[in-house]
Amino acid sequence: MTDHTTGGDGEQWPSRAYMFDLLFEHEPDFDVATMVAALRRRFDVAQPRHSDDGHFVGFRLGGTNERPGPFLGVFPPAPFQATRADEALQQTWGWESARNVVGRCTHSVLVSDLLGHLTVNDGALEQAPHIDRVERMCRALDGLVEVLRPAAVLCPAIQCVREPAVFAMNDRDAATVIDPFLNVRLFRVENSTDDEVVMDTLGLAALGLPDIQCRVSGLDLGAVAALLRDTGAYVLQHGDVIEHGNTIGGLNGQPWACRRGPALVGPAREVIGIAPPTAG
């Protein structure tokens, strides 16, 4: 999946479709009526629409005649090869059995907010507010996970595999609400003499926001990961408000400098680089 698109002038735009792969150990019962009932408990959903080629079912998520809500596309079960999740598993943290669970999965159901980056206002297309998109996908996934009961969820936009419980709205608190949309990755710098690492967030770019990155050595990586996560959560909540040259509160209360620039690790995207005082 492409995590973002770039306009001709280099401006970063949100992904046209934010995708999640629900993974199953057996072929699931793909009952449209059950999905409609689950989504209607969360949205004013019209009757589902089947694509002309039969490849997916579309659900309108709320809205009005003047300002219709976006479509959620749910694709019927398809065979799944565990190797598709290899890259994501390398950056999956905090779920020790993730690889074993994914290895047992045989089918997937793809869920996507088709053209979710756009909204209609007075007949004109506009860029949808990212926080509306996140909230909408949270509610939709809550319903689909509830009735389809996947064993795992592959999140290509954040290069991670999540436990299904992450998507249960009733079980989620302020610390986990960002988990479907943000991952912290870790990369060792080759041939480094002082054990340098690059750490970054992935997922914000797909929403039209800058991800966060840093290149450090000799620091508590758990603390750095928490700082990246907290900074990413702030951007997700408040938008693209951290400017080049700003500082944020870093480890031990030190000010960390913020610099805008290209990502050190793909996918190519604009990021906010943060650095402690000793890193210059």
CA distance 129 to 117: 8
What is the SS3 assignment for 232?
Answer: helix
CA distance 106 to 84: 11
Nearest to 179 by CA among 151, 157, 205, 210: 157
To the nearest 10 degrees (0 to 180), the angle between helices 130-148 and 32-40 is 130
pLDDT in tens, 150-188: 999 999 999 999 999 999 877 555 455 789 999 999 999
Residue 6 has pLDDT above 90, yes or no: no
Into which CATH architecture does domain 5-171 fall?
A: 2-Layer Sandwich (3.30)
Q: Which DSSP state fits 90?
A: H
pLDDT in tens, 219-275: 999 999 999 999 999 999 899 999 999 999 999 889 999 999 999 999 999 999 999
- Whether 6 and 208 have beta carbons less than 8 Å apart is answered as no
Single-letter residue type at 256: W
CA distance 45 to 147: 16
What is the SS3 assignment for 183?
Answer: strand
pLDDT band at 4 (very low <50, low <70, confident <90, very high): very low
Domain boundaries, the chain: 5-171, 183-279
Lowest mean pLDDT among 29-43, 82-96, 118-132, 247-261: 118-132
pLDDT in tens, 44-57: 876 788 776 767 89
Question: How many angstroms separate the Cα of 235 from the Cα of each of 75, 142, 220, 248, 272?
Answer: 31, 23, 23, 12, 10
pTM (predicted TM-score): 0.88
Lowest mean pLDDT among 55-64, 107-116, 176-185: 55-64
CB neighbourhood size of 66 (10 A): 9
19-24 and 107-114 beta bridge pairing: antiparallel
Nearest to 1 by CA among 227, 202, 169: 202
When mean pLDDT is compared over 93-97, 110-114, 191-195, the highest value belongs to 93-97
